[in-house]
Each structure stands twice: as C-alpha cells, then as structure tokens.
C-alpha cells in the first residue's frame, strides 16, 4: 500500500487540478480573488503599524496634534476600506473555489455513474457493491473538496508567506528571517505527514469498507440472520471489524494532531524570536515600536493559515487517496463495448447460432464454464435447456446479449457476429428474464415499464395480464402504484418472477430468454402464461431454461447441458426414445410406480 | 407519494421531455427533517453516549480552557513587553527578557494544551461514534421484519455511516466551540479591563452583527438542508445503479437513467452552489465589521494615546484582540451549520434506535430445549402484513413430532408466510402458533431459532468462504460436519472442484456461483444448524430432479426423529410427506396424507389425476377459486 506511494499520489493530484482547470473562468476568479485577498490582508499589519507609529511620532517629535489626528483618520479609513475589500475578495475566493469543486464533483458524478452503468458483468462480479458506493460517494467527495481546501488554500498561503516574506525581508532582513524561520520546518512536516496520512488513510478506507460490508450484508440478509438466531454471531463479526477500524482511526488522530500542534508551536516559537530580536532592536533604537507591531500583527494574521496548513495537508492526503481509487474506477477499461466498425444489427430471418462456443469466467480461467457449445434456432422456434446446477445454462443465456464475451468460437444472429454489432442494437434484439432478477424499489407500474418507460398504461396492463399478474395487482389497495419493497421483498417468490416476466414482455426482442424464471410459479399459472404468450413466441426465438420438464417439453429442441457441454440434444420425444439422461430426469418427475400407467401414452405423444 | 410521481412525470429537461414512468433512485418519502439547532431530546440521547467518556471530556474541557487562556495571554505579554520594555524610551533588557521567557512558557502551555485537547477529543469522538453505531446495529438486530421489509438497506446504511459521521464532526467541533465561546468572553473581558470606554465602543458593532445574523439564519438554513437532501437523493440513485446494474444493462436503460441522473446531479450542483452563496455572504459582513472596529480603535484609541489617556501598548493589544475577536465568531458561524446538521443527523440516529421492536421476548419467556418433541401447530391463525388485508385466514393444522408435512398451493397463496410465522418473524393477528407445545410468543427467540432451521426461498450468502457460509453461526461445527452436510445436499462435488475447495471466497451474495449452487449451500447451512425442526421453503426449486432425488434420499436419514415442513411445486418432493396441506388464497382447502386425499376424492385427487408431470400442472377449471389465477 505504501508502495502506491508518492509518484502516483502526485499524478492523481495533477489530474484533479487539470479537471478543475477546465472551468477557467471560475478558477481564474478564485485565484485572482485569493491573491487580492492575501495582499489586502498583508496591508492590514502595515496600516496598523503606521497607526501606532503616528501616535508615537507625536509623542516623540511633538508634531502638531491636528496633523496626527488627520493621519489617524486617514489610516482608519484606509483600514476600513481594506477590510471591506478583503472580505469581499475572500468571499469571492471561497465561493469560486467551492464552485469549481462542485462543478468538478458534478462531472465526476456523471462520469462515475456512466462508467458504472457501462462496466461489464465481469467487473461487477469482482467488486463488492458497497465498495463501489464508497468510491462514488466518499471518494468523490474527497476529490471534490481538493480544489477549495487544498489548491486555493495553498495559493493563498504561498502568496501570504511569499509576499509577506518579501515585505518583511525588505524591511529588516534579520527580523524577516526570524519571522519566517518556521516555514522550512512546516514545509518538511507537511510533506512527511502527507505521506503518512495517505498510507493510514488507504488502510483505514479498507477497514471501513470491511465494516460497512459487514453491516450491509447483515441488513440485506436479515432474514437469514433471524432464521438462524445469529445476532450474537453477527454482533461479534461487527465488533471485530469495528475494533479494527477504530484502532486505525485513533492512529490517524494522533498523526494529524501531532502535526498540527507541532506546526502551531513552531510558528509561535518564531513569533517569540521576533519579539526578542525586535524588542532588542527597539531598545537599541534601530526600530520603531510600530515596526515591531506590524511584524507581530503580520504573524497574527498568519496564525489562522498556519493552523489551516494542517487541514491543507489533510486535504492533499485525502484527495490523493480518494483520487487514486476514483480514477482507478474511471480508467477501468470497459471490456464489453462496440467494436471500432460496429454496425447496427440487421434482423432478417432471426437465426441464432452458437458455433463451438467456449467460455470461462475471468476468475476461473482454468475451469471453463462452457465447452464447445453449438446449436441453432430460428424465428418461431423454442430451445429448451436443462441440466444440473452449475452446468452452464445461465452462462449460455448471458452470452447472447453479450453480458460476457465468448472465449472461443462465435455466436451469430442472422449471420452477424455479436461482437461486430453495436451493443445497443444487440441488447434491443435480445431480452433475458434473469434467474436472479433485480426489482427496483419503485411502483409496480414503473417496474413493468422499466425497459420502455414511454409505454402507455394499456400496454403495461397487457404485459401484466400475460404474466398473470394483473389480477393480483388489482386486488392491491394502491394497484399499479404500489411500491414493491427493496428487491421486491413484499412480494411472494412467484409474484417477483411474474413481475420480471412482465417487464421483459414490454420489450420487442428477436431473441427472448427465460432463465429458470418460473421456478417459483406453479405449473398451472405457468401454463396460462405460456398460453398467453403463444403469439408472442411465434415471431421470435425463445430459449427456456428450466428444471421442470413440463416447462420446456414442447420446445423444438432440447439441450441437456452437463459440466458446460451439451451431452444430449433433440426434441422431447427423441430424447425420451433415446433413454438417456433426459429420460431419467423425466421419469423422476412422473408419479411413481403403478400410477405412471395412465399417463404413459400421453407422455409418448 | 402518488403526487410525487405525477410531478416527476411532467418534468421536461433542457434536452427534451422525460419518460413518464421512469425514475432513478428509490421511491422515498421526502425526509423533511429540518433539524432544530438545539433539540433537547436529541442532546440528551446523544449525551448518554458521551457519558462513558466523561473523564476524557473533563480533561478536554480543562485543556481547552488552558489553551484559550494561553491564547489570551499572548497579546498581554506582548503589550507588557512593549509598554514596559521598550515604549517608554528607555529600553529595559531585563523586562524584555522576562517577557520573552513568559512568552515561551505560554506557547509551551499552548502547545501541550492544544495537543491534549485535540487528541483526547478526537479519540473520544471516534469512540462515541463507534459506540453509537454499535448500539444502532445491535438494535437493528432486534427490530421486527415488518420494519425491515419497508426500509431500504441503503437508507439504514446512510444512517449508520453518514449520519454517524456528521455526529462525529459535531462532537469534535463542539469542544472546540467551548473554547471559542470562552475566548470570546475572555477577549471581551480583557478589552473592557484594559480600557472600559474603548472596549465598550469597540463592542458596539456587535448588535449590528446580531441583526444581520437574524435575517440571514432562516434562509441559510433552508439552503443548507436542501443541499444535504440533494446529496442523499443523488447518492441513492447511484446506489441503485450499482445494485441493479445487471437489470439496467439487460433492459438497456443506461441512456434514460443517465439523463435522469443528470437531472438529479444538476439539481444537486445548484443546491450546493446556493448553499455556498449563503455560507460565504457572511464573510464580507464580518470582515467589514472588523474593519469598523479597528477604525474605531485607531481613531478613538489613537486620539486617546495622543492625549496620553492611553498607553500605546494597550492600543496594540486592542488591535490584536479585535482580530482574534472575529475568529471565534466566524468559527461559531461555521459551527452553527455543523450543529444543525448534527441535530438532523442525531434525530435520524435516534429514530433508528427508537424503532419499535414489535416481536420481543416475553418477560418470562421459556427456553425451548433440545428435548422438546418437535411438534408444530397453527391454531386458527389469521395473519396479514398490512392490517385489514389478511394473507392467511383461520389456518389450522398440526405437525406431529417426527412427521414431515408438505404445504402446497398456487403462487401467492401464503405458504412462505406460514413458514415465517413458525419462526415468529411476525406475530399473528389471531390464533396462535405452537412449537414443541409452546406458544411461540412465550419462547425466547434465540432458542426458537436454534430449534427451527430454515432454507429460505431466496438463498442469501455472505461474503466469505464456502466453509464459513455453511457453518455460519454454528461455531461448534467442524469441517467434517460441513462436508457431511454438503454431501447430503449434493454440493460436495462442485465445492471440491472449486479452486480452493471449501476455502474458496464467495463474491457478494455468492455471485460467483450459479443460483442452484447457492441454493444447495443455503440448504447445507440449514442442515449444519442441526435443529429439531427443518423448514424447507422451495429449497430445491432451482435444482434439477436428479440432485433433488439425492437430497431426498439423504434427508430420509437426516430427518430421522425430526420434524419437517416442506414447500415445493414438484410432485417428487411431496410424495414422501406424511401429510399434505393444500393452501389456496390464504385458506386451507384440504389436509391429509396422499392416500387419504386420494381416497377422499376431493380437490387434491382431482388435481393429482389431472396432473401430468408435477402437482401444479392444473388446468384452468381446477383453479377457478384462486383470485390469483382467475383471468
Ligand atoms: N413482507 C411482505 N409484506 C407485504 N406483503 C407480503 C410480504 N410477503 C408476502 N406478502 C404478500 O403475501 C401474500 C402471500 O405471500 P407468500 O410469500 O406467503 O406466498 P407463497 O405462497 O409463498 O407464494 P410463492 O409460491 O409465490 O412463493 C402475497 O400476496 C404477497 O404479496
Ligand atoms: N460470475 C461468475 N464467476 C465465476 N464463476 C461463475 C460465475 N457465475 C457462475 N460461475 C460458475 O460457472 C458455472 C456455470 O454456472 P451457471 O450459472 O451457468 O450454471 P447454471 O447451469 O445456470 O446453474 P443453475 O441451474 O444452478 O442456475 C458454475 O460452476 C458456476 O460456479
Ligand atoms: Mg442458472
Ligand atoms: Mg413463497
């Protein structure tokens, strides 16, 4: 982690700064205002010093009273003017600084959202959603704050110290050096601390994300936790993660506070030095009291920025860690995307072909999920897929809309390799009812219309009717505007599946895939769904994955998949006649022994 | 809420109208929570969490006072050095030396105090934060599922994280603001002490500031809260995109969603810019007032010095104080919005801590021992998730010890709900549920949970290894037990084939396994729990019949002496049951063993004879009674 160290951290900061510079007007305003505000601020000690001197000269030289009073008035008015202007420019500096940050934040938000939406399944398989949320929320915030809390502040501080240094040194070299003696120390501390904070921060983020994962999974799986009366176990898990993070959080406080208090101390020490040297000079008559006062006031003015220096270091460290993570996401290559010369898919006969398709998930490259899969289906045909758990049925289904790319062989739709057509047109041509369907926390209506948010009410109701959901919805007090709970918790298993069927029916695809999407629906209802959809099926290729043979026995072609390979294929009757695995499976789903007899003729039909 | 949707429908962006039936981010009731700056209830509750760190707090406050004191003393030392050491013409090295020594002492004290104060406060604040989070988490382990069903995980997470963090910010700054207030008072006193008239004159700018603040406050508050709200709306939409990314890509909603998200992000940007304007407008006002105060000191004080009514050192000290004077005012202004945010957050935290626990152990609850008989009985149970909408009506059946009972019926008929009641996820509205002869409301939930193992309809796995998932909270289970359970459900082979076998890390929700594999693991987990009663809610729905047969065979052994409750759509699963309960539309229509029901010639036998390959293949005529099914 520490090796992620210096170079990369700086690169990230440069990149954030470049993003900020894309708003040249606001950045310009912020910078100019910051410089003006700093210079005005530096004038204050001068004016105060001269006010003090004006009173002193009178005492010393016995000049005319009125002159002195007039001079005082002039100084006072100048001071008032300077203060007002300083306030205005500080406001502008702060406002534009923040505005730049917010604009950068806005763009990063959009970039993040877009990236997350486009990154392929294989990326999302490897990353925990909680970690992504952290990147999109907290890390983005850290990057957003960078401009106002670090860049502008750094500029302000350099101007204050730089111009101040010039002014002081030109007034009195020794005193100036004394007043600025804290600067090298502070600079050294800052860079050391920035790196240490960055390292701690990276580790802390990691532990915090473990903690939030524990909490999130506990709440998401609360039914399991309850079912196993496991709250003590879960609390222990939480406690462990929590203590881990807490220890590091304490370390971070130590580092930060040690740093800030040391900086403040060095600053005060420099002030003591000024007092000593300046005092001696005043006594020796080499300097006026006013001159000393302006030196000291100057230091007073620096006190706040020096305290803020700690914050600035913090902001640098935070931005570089957060930025590293955020840009890692934004730079992630989208593996599934349009090829250079991709064309819209053209559908003519609607023929789907798998040609010797191989596939392995990126995490388990040595254990291919699919081997040498070939089959063909054209419009109006239905392909059934059966096989034991983990045999690769879902994998086949996910290759067709290109959720993953094949590792070998190819898949074509009307002769066009899926990798050579645009993703948008392909996804429009292929619809999947996913096995583990995600329902959105919104109304039933919005859920059904998810794929076609412009749909008219009548169409939504028709889809819902076809999926055998309409009557259930009508019985609800709020009807179609009922909000389903998170991931559909307030629905029964079968209702969830019917809702996800309904929303897929809203689409007009060429290839339609049902991935085990009727497992929780009783066969009577399922048959009715199928009857409703007969028309719909006639104009497209349908792929049905199911364990219940009644769901797919009418298919034109049935594939029996085992260990990623097609081991048997043919129509229901052919497969039964073959007496292989399909037949065995079929027999298991029949009533036992003597009761089979009346059904046999029908089965052999 | 419906109005909310309608409003969204009509929205038209710069780049065309928005689709009528689309939104990103969950449907949420707007959290109109304008926190009061000072809410006694919130303060009291949060204070309870600070109590354990009382001694640290005392140390911190003392340190703050010392720190502030040293801050106050520094200008006084400078004044002393100037007036007594140099101004009078005849310089005095002795006095200067003493002053510098004093100064060094003051800054050492300042250093020590600021270190102690910040470390102690920082750590205590972290501790309090973690304590609050633990209390909330522990409470959420007890709240009823009825609440959890309606509440999104993301919402709770934002409370467990975001709100807890703003509480931390508040705690850290609140000790500092004690310092600010003390500093303010100290400066006022010091100025009045140095020169009463000049002090009074300088302070006369205060009422102006107060007046401005009164006008500014309510508007700024609205702007701040709006920005906060906009943030959580945008973040909610982002979280939804992350969780639902597979559905989004599957239905090609990226473009629509991006447009909608852009609207939200844009609104968020505007809200923040507005809030920034409000926050910054105070800066020139405070600075102008500082200028006025300094001008007053220069003119009036300067004249007084000219008239020898005032020592020049006093004037310098005044000028120092005025500059320091507005710092605490400025940071108190900042503190104000932190405090307000903290109160709103505190309110939300307390809301979580106060969520009603409907399902709670009775005061004298019995512990259900392993020696109970394992019977399960529902007596005239009526139950609904929402009052007035019963999902189960007068459901009455009994499972004798050691029996296996099957629950069948069309989708949505209430089978899963029956299972939930046996485990007391919810309390019945009428009638009672008995396990081992005891009303479940008279049992401790822990012991009930240990005696009833469940395979839920929706398999849920945790991030962690396969082994950890199967063993789950049964700490006493060894690897052998785990393997035995995995073998019983036919999962051993595929687990062994994974790269690291039982030590393979599972992704989120077990995402790197197929659904059937996940189901098998969740089945194995229930077997390892080694409970007297086993409840299987469509435990093999996503598994093929071969595997199911294997499991059936293994279960015959495993269910020896145990009670089983099985929900399934497939005939093979039901065949072995001692009794079959047919549920339709929340009511029991038939009960009996397979042969009894067949002999009775009722609905079951009719269905059975009509059945082709599975129980549920019911032709339309047979299911007219079900409202779910009527077309
Ligand atoms: N948490 C909940 N909140 C509100 N309503 C619910 C909740 N869970 C289920 N319901 C409703 O209660 C009814 C019965 O649901 P239940 O899950 O018991 O059905 P089921 O028989 O298990 O159906 P399936 O075979 O589809 O799983 C359904 O209409 C469902 O919408
Ligand atoms: N995202 C993933 N990353 C790595 N491996 C995976 C992933 N998804 C599935 N696998 C593995 O690939 C194989 C095939 O899985 P697939 O989901 O296609 O099975 P399936 O036939 O659909 O099974 P089921 O009937 O249980 O749904 C399994 O061994 C599974 O563990
Ligand atoms: Mg699958
Ligand atoms: Mg159910």
Question: Which of A540, A542, A480 shows the shortest CA–CA distance to A517?
Answer: A542
A323 shares its domain with A385: no
Intra-chain end-to-end CA distance of chain A, in Å: 67
Q: What DSSP character marks residue A550? A: G
Cβ within 8 Å of residue A3, ≥6 positions away: none
Q: Whose CA is nearest to atom 5 of ligand 1?
A: A490
Question: How far off is chain A from B34, nearest CA to CA, in Å?
Answer: 23
CA distances from B478 to A227, B261, B467, B525, B528 (A): 21, 49, 10, 13, 10
Give the range among A11-15, B105-109, B223-227 with minimum mean pLDDT.
Answer: B223-227
Segment A320-325 mean pLDDT? 90
What per-residue confidence (pLDDT) applies to B617? 41
Looking at the structure, do residues A197 and A265 belong to the same domain, yes or no?
Answer: yes
Residue A373 and residue A407 in contact, taking contact as beta carbons nearer than 8 Å: no
* Percent of chain B at pLDDT exceeding 90: 22
Identify whether residues A366 and A238 lie together within a single domain.
no
CATH number at residue A364: 3.40.50.300
Rounded distance from Cα A390 to ligand 3 centre (Å): 7
- Looking at the fold, whether A214 and A358 belong to one and the same domain comes out as no
With contacts defined as CB-CB under 8 Å, which chain B residues touch A215?
Answer: 137, 157, 160
At B541, give phi and psi (nearest 5°): -65, -35
Q: Looking at residue A38, what is its pLDDT?
A: 86
Contact yes or no for B482/B467 (Cβ under 8 A) = yes
Distance of CA A389 from the midpoint of ligand 2 (Å): 8
Pull the structure tokens for residue B282.
């105070």
Q: Do A409 and A272 reside in the same domain of the chain? A: no
Let me know whether A367 and A304 are in one domain. Answer: no
Closest atom, ligand 1, to C-alpha of B410: 25
Which pLDDT does position A1 carry in this prediction? 35
Q: Do A442 and B26 touch (CB under 8 A)?
A: yes
* Residue A44 vs residue B433, higher pLDDT: B433
- CA dist B482 and A234 (Å) reads 20
Distance CA B8, CA B6 (A): 5
| Cβ separation B150–A221 shorter than 8 A | no
Higher pLDDT, A261 or B5: A261
Assess whether the C-beta atom of A501 lies below 6 angstroms from ligand 1: no
Give per-residue pLDDT as tens, A339-380. Answer: 888 889 888 888 999 999 999 998 888 889 999 999 999 898
For residue B23, give how far its alpha carbon lies from the nearest alpha carbon of chain A (Å): 8
Of B241, B268, B298, the CB nearest to A117: B241
> Which residues 169-198 of A have a C-beta within 8 angstroms of B?
none
B391 lines ligand 1 (CB under 6 A): yes
With H, G, I as helix, E, B as strand and everything else as coil, classify residue A357.
strand
Cβ B418 under 6 angstroms from ligand 1: no
Counting one residue from chain A and one from chain B, the pairs whose CB atoms sit within 8 A come to: 571
Q: Tell me which residues have their CB closer than 6 angstroms to ligand 2.
A: A 125, 361, 363-364, 369, 387, 389-395, 435, 516; B 511-517, 542
Quick check: A225 pLDDT over 60? yes
B251 and A431 within 8 Å at the Cβ level: the answer is yes
Range of A234's domain?
2-330
Site from A223, A270, A567, A586 to mutate, B interface, most B CB atoms within 10 angstroms: A223
pLDDT of residue B388: 82
Chain A, 398 to 417: residues with Cβ < 8 Å from chain B are 401, 403
The alpha-carbon gap from B240 to the nearest alpha carbon of chain A, in Å, equals: 8
Shared-domain flag, residues A409 and A538: yes
Chain A residues touching residue B85 (CB < 8 angstroms) = 279, 282-283
User: Residue written as tokens 């991935």?
Assistant: A515
Q: Is the CB of A222 under 6 A from ligand 1?
A: no
Strands of A365-462, DSSP E: 370-377, 382-386, 408-413, 416-417, 430-433
Report whether pLDDT(B465) > 90: yes
Which residues, 6+ apart, have CB-to-CB distance to B470 below 8 Å? B482, B485, B486, B502, B521, B524, B525, B528
Residue A79 lies in a domain: yes
At residue A33, the pLDDT reads 93
Find the angle CA(B323)-CA(B328)-CA(B331) to the nearest 5 degrees: 120
Q: For A381, what's the count of Cα atoms within 13 Å in the CB-facing half-sphere?
A: 16
Model pLDDT for residues B273-316, shown as the tens digit of each residue: 998 898 888 888 888 888 888 888 888 888 888 787 778 778 87
Residues A144 and A110 sit within 8 Å (Cβ to Cβ): no
Model confidence band, residue B606 (pLDDT cutoffs 50, 70, 90): low
Is ligand 1 within 6 A of the CB of residue B414? yes
Q: Which of A108-112, B511-515, B602-606 bottoms out in mean pLDDT, i.e. has the lowest?
A: B602-606
Tell me the average pLDDT across B340-352. 80
Task: Specify the residue with its C-alpha closest to ligand 2, atom 16.
Answer: A392
Q: Classify residue A496: in a domain, yes or no.
A: no
At B622 the pLDDT is 39
pLDDT surpassing 90 at residue A508: no
Can you give the pLDDT at residue B612? 46
Do A295 and A383 lie in one domain? The reply is no
Atom of ligand 2 nearest to the CA of A393: 21
In a mutagenesis test of the B interface, which of A240, A441, A473, A512 is the best target, namely the one with the most B β-carbons within 10 Å? A441
Compare B505 and A59 and report the one with higher pLDDT: B505
Residues A262 and A400 in one domain: no
Domain count, chain A: 2
Please state which of the ranges A395-404, A423-432, A572-581, B75-84 shows the lowest mean pLDDT: B75-84
Domain assignment of residue A582, yes or no: yes
Rounded CA-CA distance B192/B195 in Å is: 5
Residues A322 and A372 occupy one common structural domain: no
Asked if residue A463 belongs to a domain, the reply is no
Lowest average pLDDT, out of A20-29, A438-447, B178-187, goes to: B178-187
pLDDT bucket at B608, cuts 50 / 70 / 90: low
B542 DSSP assignment? T
A601 contacts chain B (CB < 8 A): no
Is A340 contained in some domain? Answer: no
pLDDT more than 90, % of chain A: 34
Span A1-14, mean pLDDT?
61
Q: What are the pLDDT digits (tens) for A16-35?
A: 999 999 999 999 999 999 99
Separation CA A110–CA A464 (nearest Å): 34
Please give the residue of chain A at the shortest CA–CA distance from B598: A595
Res. B482 pLDDT band, cuts 50 70 90: very high
Query: Going by C-beta distance under 8 Å and a sequence separation of 6 or more, which residues neighbour residue A451?
Result: A431, A503, A504, A506, A507, B251, B252, B253
Which of B144, B145, B414 to mutate to test ligand 1, by most ligand atoms within 8 A of the CB atom?
Answer: B414
User: Would the pLDDT of B90 be above 70?
Assistant: no
Instruction: List A residues 108-127 in contact with B (Cβ-Cβ < 8 A).
Output: 109-110, 112-114, 116-119, 121, 124-126
Under the banding of pLDDT at 50, 70 and 90, the label for residue A315 is confident
Structure tokens at B411: 């989708």
HSE value, Cβ hemisphere, 13 Å, CA-based, for B617:
16
C-alpha span between B370 and B103 (Å, rounded): 75
Using CB atoms, which residue from B248, B623, B628 is nearest to A117? B248
Confidence at residue B555, expressed as pLDDT on a 0 to 100 scale: 82
Alpha helices in A135-230 (DSSP H): 140-146, 152-171, 173-179, 182-220, 222-227
**The predicted structure's pLDDT at residue A58:** 59
Mean pLDDT of A272-286: 84
Of chain B, the percentage scoring pLDDT greater than 70 comes to: 88
Task: Copy the structure tokens of residue B279.
Answer: 């926050």
Question: What does R_g of chain B's alpha carbons equal in angstroms?
Answer: 36
What pLDDT band is residue B613 in, cutting at 50, 70 and 90? very low
Which whole number is the average pLDDT over A426-437? 91
Nearest by Cα to A433 from A338, A498, A344, A372: A498
Is A596 close to ligand 1, i.e. is its CB under 6 Å away? Answer: no
Q: How far apart are CA B60 and CA B176, in angstroms?
A: 9
- CATH number for the domain harbouring residue A137: 1.20.1560.10
Q: Is residue A489 part of a domain?
A: no
Task: Dump pLDDT digits (tens) for B33-73.
Answer: 444 445 677 788 888 888 899 898 889 889 888 988 888 78
In a domain, A143, yes or no: yes
Mean of the per-residue pLDDT values of chain A: 86
Question: At residue B630, does pLDDT exceed 50?
Answer: no
Interface contact B412-A472, CB threshold 8 A: yes
**Per-residue confidence at B350, pLDDT binned at 50, 70, 90?**
confident
Average predicted confidence (pLDDT) for chain B:
82
Please indicate, yes or no, whether residues A192 and A261 belong to a single structural domain of this protein.
yes
**Closest residue (by CA) to atom 5 of ligand 2?**
B512
Whether residue A424 lies inside any domain: the answer is yes
List C-alpha distances in Å: B366 to A281, B361, B372: 87, 9, 12
Residue B428 DSSP one-character state: -
ipTM above 0.85, yes or no: yes
pLDDT reported for residue B572 = 63
SS3 state at B460: coil
pTM of the model: 0.88
Minimal Cβ distance to B157: which of A80, A216, A432: A216
- Residue carrying structure tokens 């462990």: A240
Domains and CATH numbers, chain B: 40-353 (1.20.1560.10), 376-630 (3.40.50.300)
pLDDT value of residue B201: 85
A406 has a pLDDT exceeding 50: yes
How far CA B436 is from CA of B145, B282, B363, B402, in Å, comes to 23, 70, 19, 11
Identify whether the C-beta of residue A157 lies closer than 8 Å to the C-beta of residue A371. Answer: no
Residues A154 and A233 in one domain: yes
Q: CA nearest A27: which of A39, A36, A37, A19? A: A19
């Amino acid at each position: 982690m520490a090796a992620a160290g210096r170079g990369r951290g700086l690169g990230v900061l440069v990149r954030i700064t470049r993003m900020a510079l894309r708003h040249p007007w606001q950045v310009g305003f912020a910078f100019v205002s910051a410089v003006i505000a700093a210079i005005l601020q530096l004038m204050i000690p001068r004016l105060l010093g001269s006010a003090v001197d004006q009173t002193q000269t009178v005492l010393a030289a016995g000049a005319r009273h009125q002159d002195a009073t007039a001079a005082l008035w002039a100084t006072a008015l100048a001071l008032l003017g300077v203060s007002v202007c300083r306030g205005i420019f500080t406001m502008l500096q702060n406002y534009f600084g923040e505005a730049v940050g917010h604009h950068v934040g806005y763009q990063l938000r959009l970039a993040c959202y877009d990236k997350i939406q486009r990154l392929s399944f294989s990326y999302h398989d490897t990353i925990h959603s909680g970690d992504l949320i952290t990147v999109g929320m907290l890390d983005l915030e850290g990057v957003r704050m960078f401009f106002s809390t670090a860049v502008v502040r750094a500029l302000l501080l350099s101007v204050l110290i730089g111009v101040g240094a010039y002014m002081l040194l030109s007034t009195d070299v020794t005193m100036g050096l004394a007043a600025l003696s804290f600067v090298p120390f502070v600079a050294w501390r800052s860079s050391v601390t920035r790196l240490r904070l960055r390292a701690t921060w990276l580790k802390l983020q990691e532990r915090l994300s473990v903690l939030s994962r524990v909490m999130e999974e506990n709440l998401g799986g609360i039914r399991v936790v309850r079912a196993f009366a496991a709250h003590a176990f879960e609390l222990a898990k939480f406690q462990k993660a929590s203590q881990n993070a807490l220890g590091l959080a304490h370390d971070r406080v130590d580092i930060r506070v040690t740093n800030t208090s040391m900086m403040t101390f060095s600053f005060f020490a420099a002030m003591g030095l000024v007092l000593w040297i300046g005092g001696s000079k005043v006594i020796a008559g080499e300097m006026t009291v006013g001159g000393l006062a302006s030196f000291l006031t100057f230091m007073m003015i620096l006190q706040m920025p020096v305290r803020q220096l700690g914050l600035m270091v913090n902001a640098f460290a935070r931005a570089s860690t957060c930025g590293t993570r955020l840009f890692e996401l934004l730079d992630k290559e989208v593996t599934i995307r349009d090829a250079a010369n991709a064309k819209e898919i053209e559908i003519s006969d609607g023929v789907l072909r798998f040609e010797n398709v191989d596939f392995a998930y990126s995490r388990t490259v040595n254990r291919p999920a699919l081997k040498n899969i070939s089959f063909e289906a054209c419009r109006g045909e239905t392909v059934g897929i059966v096989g034991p758990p983990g045999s690769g049925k879902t994998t086949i289904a996910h290759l067709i809309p290109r959720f993953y790319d094949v590792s070998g062989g190819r898949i074509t739709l009307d002769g066009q390799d899926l990798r050579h057509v645009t993703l948008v047109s392909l996804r429009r041509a292929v619809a999947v009812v996913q096995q583990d369907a995600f329902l959105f926390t919104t109304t039933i209506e919005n859920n059904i219309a998810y794929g076609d948010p412009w749909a008219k009410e009548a169409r939504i109701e028709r889809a819902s009717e076809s999926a055998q959901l309409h009557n259930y919805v009508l019985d609800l007090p709020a009807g179609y505007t009922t909000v389903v709970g998170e991931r559909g918790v307030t629905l029964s298993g079968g209702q969830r599946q019917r809702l996800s069927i309904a929303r897929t029916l809203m689409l007009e695809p060429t290839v339609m895939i049902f991935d085990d999407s009727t497992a929780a629906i009783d066969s009577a209802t399922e048959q009715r769904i199928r009857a409703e959809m007969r028309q719909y099926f006639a104009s497209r290729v349908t792929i049905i994955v199911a364990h219940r043979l009644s769901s797919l026995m009418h298919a034109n072609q049935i594939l029996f998949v085992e260990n990623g390979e097609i081991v048997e294929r043919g129509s229901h009757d052919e497969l039964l006649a073959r007496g292989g695995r399909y037949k065995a499976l079929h027999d298991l789903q029949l009533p036992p022994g003597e009761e089979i007899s009346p059904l046999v003729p029908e089965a052999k039909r | 809420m419906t109005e909310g949707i309608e409003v969204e429908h009509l929205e038209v962006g710069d780049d065309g109208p928005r689709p009528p039936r689309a939104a990103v981010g969950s449907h949420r009731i707007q959290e109109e929570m304008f926190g009061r700056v000072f809410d006694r209830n919130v303060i009291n509750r949060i204070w309870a969490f600070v109590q354990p760190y009382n001694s640290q707090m005392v140390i911190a406050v003392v340190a703050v006072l010392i720190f502030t004191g040293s801050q106050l003393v520094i200008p006084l030392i400078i004044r002393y050095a100037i007036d007594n050491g140099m101004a009078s013409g005849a310089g005095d090295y002795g006095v200067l030396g003493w002053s510098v020594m004093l100064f060094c002492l003051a800054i050492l004290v300042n250093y020590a105090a600021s270190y102690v104060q910040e470390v102690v406060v920082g750590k205590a604040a972290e501790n309090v934060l973690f304590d609050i989070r633990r209390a909330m988490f522990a409470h959420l382990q007890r709240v009823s599922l009825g609440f959890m069903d309606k509440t999104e995980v993301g919402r709770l997470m934002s409370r467990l994280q975001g709100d807890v963090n703003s509480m931390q910010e508040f705690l850290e700054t609140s000790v500092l603001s004690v310092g600010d207030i003390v500093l303010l008072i100290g400066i006022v006193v010091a100025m009045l002490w140095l020169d009463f008239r000049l002090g009074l004159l300088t302070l006369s700018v205060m009422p102006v500031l107060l007046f401005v603040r009164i006008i500014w406050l309510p508007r700024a508050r609205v702007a701040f809260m709006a920005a906060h709200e906009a943030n959580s709306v945008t973040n909610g939409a982002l979280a939804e995109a992350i969780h639902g990314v597979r559905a989004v890509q599957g239905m090609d909603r990226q473009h629509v969603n991006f447009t909608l998200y852009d609207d939200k992000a844009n609104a968020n940007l505007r809200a923040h810019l507005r809030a920034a304007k409000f926050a910054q407008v105070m800066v020139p006002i405070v600075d102008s007032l500082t200028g006025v105060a300094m001008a007053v000191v220069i003119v009036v004080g300067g004249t007084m010095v000219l008239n020898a009514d005032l020592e020049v050192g006093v004037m310098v000290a005044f000028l120092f104080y005025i500059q320091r004077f507005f710092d605490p005012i400025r940071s108190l202004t900042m503190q104000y919005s932190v405090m307000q945010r903290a109160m709103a957050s505190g309110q939300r935290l307390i809301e979580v801590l106060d969520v009603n626990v409907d399902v709670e152990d009775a005061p004298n609850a019995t512990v259900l021992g392993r020696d109970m008989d394992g019977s399960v009985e529902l007596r005239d149970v009526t139950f609904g998730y929402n009052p007035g909408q019963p999902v189960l009506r007068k459901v009455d059946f009994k499972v004798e010890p050691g029996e296996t009972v099957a629950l069948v019926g069309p989708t949505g008929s209430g089978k899963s709900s029956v299972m939930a009641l046996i485990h007391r996820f919810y309390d019945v509205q009428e009638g009672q549920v008995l396990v081992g002869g005891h009303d479940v409301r008279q049992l401790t939930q822990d012991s009930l949970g240990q005696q009833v193992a469940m395979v839920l309809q929706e398999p849920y796995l945790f991030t962690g290894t396969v082994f950890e998932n199967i063993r789950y909270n049964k700490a006493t289970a060894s690897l052998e037990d785990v393997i035995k359970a995995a073998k019983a459900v036919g999962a051993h082979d595929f687990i062994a084939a994974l790269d690291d076998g039982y030590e393979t890390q599972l992704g989120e929700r077990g995402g790197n396994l197929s659904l059937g594999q996940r189901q098998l693991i969740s089945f194995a987990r229930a077997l390892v729990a080694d409970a007297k009663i086993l409840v299987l809610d469509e435990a093999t729905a996503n598994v093929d019949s071969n595997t199911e047969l294997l499991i059936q065979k293994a279960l015959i052994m495993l269910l020896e002496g145990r009670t089983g409750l099985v929900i399934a759509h497939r005939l093979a699963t039901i065949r072995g049951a001692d009794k079959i309960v047919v549920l339709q539309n929340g009511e029991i229509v038939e009960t009996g063993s397979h042969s009894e029901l067949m002999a009775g010639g009722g609905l079951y036998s009719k269905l059975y004879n009509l059945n082709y390959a599975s129980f549920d293949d019911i032709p339309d005529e047979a299911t007219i009674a079900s409202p779910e099914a009527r077309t």
